[in-house]
Structure 1
Amino acid sequence: MANSPKTLELTILDREYRVNCPDGAEEKLRDAARYLNEKMQEIKQAGAATGKVLGTDRIAVIAALNIAHQLREVESQQQGLNQDVRQLHAMIDDALDQDLQLEL
């Protein structure tokens, strides 16, 4: 029998949300909710510091955009690292091929 999703209660920006979560992923979802809550609180406080009162929907969209931007930056860095690793593998393979040729 497949594991049925659990329902978790999460608090984000002082509001309670009930969300389904696959069995075994509860802590990761709680961690993601904590991260989102922190980012939304930062945006809310920044707005309050400038005298602006931002609605929850606007705070959520700004947080989502910031997190999506961070994700895209990390993906771009990862692609660069993957390319570096491929180049290193090729260099190692070339060096090993040359070493084998010298032994023959």
Structure 2
Amino acid sequence: MSTATTVTLNILDKEYRVSCPPEERSNLEQAARHLDSTMRDIRNSGKVIGVERIAVMAALNISHEMLTGSRKQDGELDRQQQQIGDLVSRLDQALSRHQS
């Protein structure tokens, strides 16, 4: 069992100390960089003012990215499962013709 480690993250010019398992440190740092980049893009657009509002907009944008990606993966999985089903059906037909 791994011991949690404290990681210092910088997001929109603020420092946050977060505990996480050592094996998750890289993922946490990558997530923080993505959040920081998204928040900076929103702030630099000048359309949203206030750190709290910027954070909410960033959370919405990142959630949308995640859900859109999940839906694309689900659609691809459905397509692959359909192809596998079609192949199994064709194999069954070929085997039944061969056995007759």
Query: Which residue is equivalent to 2:11?
Result: 12
Query: Which residue is equivalent to 2:35?
Result: 36
Q: Does 1:85 find its partner at 2:80? A: yes
CA RMSD, 1 decimal: 1.2
Deviation at 1:99, TM superposition (A): 1.3
Percent of pairs with identical residues: 37
After TM superposition, the structure 1 = structure 2 runs for residues 53-72 of structure 1, keeping only pairs within 5 Å, are 54-72=49-67
Per-residue deviation, residues 35-92 of structure 1 (Å, max 9, x unmatched): 1100000000001xx6x6x111111100000111111111111111111011001001
For structure 1, list consecutive stretches of 5 or more residues without a partner in the other structure.
none
Query: Which residue is equivalent to 1:94?
Result: 89
CA distance in 1, matches of 2:80, 2:44: 42
Matched residue SS, 2:22: coil
TM-score w.r.t. length of structure 2: 0.93
Q: Between Structure 1 and Structure 2, how many residues are aligned? A: 99
Q: Which runs of 4+ in 1 moved over 4 A?
A: none
TM-score w.r.t. length of structure 1: 0.90
CA distance in 2, matches of 1:79, 1:89: 15
For structure 2, list consecutive stretches of 5 or more residues without a partner in the other structure.
none
